[in-house]
Structure 1
Amino acid sequence: MTTHRVYLDTEFTTLNRYRAQLISLALVVPGGPEFYVELTDTWSAEDCSPFVIDTVLPLLDRARYGRTTDQSRAELLAFLQALGPVEVITDAPDHDWPLLLWLAGPTGLPANVQPEPGHLPIDLNATYSGDEPPHHALQDARLLAALAEKTNPA
């Protein structure tokens, strides 16, 4: 059975890893399904750095994508379980991976998901020469997937 590469990106309240709270999370399967949620019950604007307030928050669409933590967790686990074998890949494992684990909850990720993040097969700084990514988890995960798969197809 083929292992699916799933590209992860998150947005969070601050770069301080000990205080960061998850704002949004995206998972993108190249050429396949996508998962995206914006959490509604875990953070407030007062928790956010000035950068997040100015750059990340204006891009959110909580009316469309807003979910509670419990709703987000249930949808995340169902999405991952439906894929079969999964390797989650991120360009920021020190930030994104702990937030994914937090959202997965006390039972952890489903057994079909590899227990550690996968290796990103590219150097983003050398590969990407476009504008600054938008700091929107879904758009950034799509960009990451496109760049990684272009340089290292499955």
Structure 2
Amino acid sequence: MKLFLDCEFTRLNRDTKLISLALVSEAGHEYYVELTDTYVTQDCSDFVIQNVLPQLNLPEHGQPLVEAQTSLLAFLSNLEGPLEICSDAPDWDWDLFCQLAYVNHRWPANVANSPTNLILLFRHLEADDIGDVTLPELPHHALLDARLLADLYRRLTAGSNRGIEHG
């Protein structure tokens, strides 16, 4: 089963820190968390301060890192594997996902240990398969963005089974 991953983080640099993470499965299962102890506002770029932080709801979704690791592993363990993590920005999102998924030197047994790049996956689709789909501007909210990626994947693969292996 494919899980669509999106993360929000402090800035585009090697010292970036995770703010929020979402996974949406092909079947509609959702996991979403906002981290409460991995960053401070001063770590964030102006863009993140203006566009990401105002959308957070820490009282409802906030968890410290250790709790987020536990809740993510519980979510993943309830899904039938193998699980394929798909991202439109795996160079950024994968390392952040690994911070939550790789605990006590253990990787979740039902999760593939490398990401699927959705941009490459979408490139394999025929132009006719895409049709009238227009890519919306992502709202810079991890859960909303992951839902959009899952929906786009479903719409693009519904018209054709050519070039896409359903898992």
Verify same fold: TM over 0.5: yes
SS of structure 2 residue aligned to 1:70: helix
Question: What is the CA-CA distance between 1:31 and the residue it aligns to?
Answer: 3.3
Distance 1:82 1:38, change over 3 A: same
Q: Which residue of 2 aligns with 1:129?
A: 134
Return the alpha-carbon distance in structure 1 between the equivalents of residues 54 and 27 of structure 2. Answer: 28
1:142 matched to 2:147? The reply is yes
Matched, 1:34 2:30: yes
Distance 2:144 2:154 in 1: 15
Per mean C-alpha deviation after superposition, the further-off stretch among 141-150 and 28-37 is: 28-37
CA RMSD of aligned residues (A): 1.6
Flag the 1:63–1:99 CA change in 2: closer, same or farther, 3 A.
same
Match of 1:117 in 2: 115
Deviation at 1:114, TM superposition (A): 0.5
* Native 8 Å contact 2:6 2:23 kept in 1: yes
Please give the TM-score of this superposition, normalised by the length of structure 2.
0.83
- 1:30, distance to aligned residue in structure 2 (A): 2.6
Q: Distance in 1 between matches of 2:156 and 2:134?
A: 14
Q: 1:112 to 1:67 in 2, by over 3 A?
A: same
Matched to 1:122, the amino acid is F
Aligned partners of 2:8 and 2:142 also within 8 Å: yes
2:74 counterpart residue number: 78
Superposed, 1:37-48 pairs within 5 Å as 37-48=33-44
% identity of equivalent residues:
47
Q: 2:60 aligns with which of 64, 67, 75?
A: 64
SS of the residue corresponding to residue 27 of structure 1 reads: strand
User: Which has more radius of gyration?
Assistant: 2
CA distance in 2, matches of 1:69, 1:118: 25
Paired with 1:132 and 1:106, the residues of 2 have a C-alpha distance of 37
Amino acid at match of 2:29: P
Q: Could you tell me which residue of structure 2 aligns to residue 152 of structure 1?
A: 157
**Matched residue SS, 1:83:** coil
Aligned-residue offset at 1:61: 0.4
- Preserved contact between residue 101 and residue 108 of structure 1 (Cα < 8 Å): no
Cα shift readout 1:97-139 (whole Å, capped 9, x = no counterpart): 000001123434301101111242215xx96635421100000
Matched-pair contact (CA < 8 Å) for 2:35–2:62: yes
Cα distance in structure 2, aligned partners of 1:108 and 1:118:
21
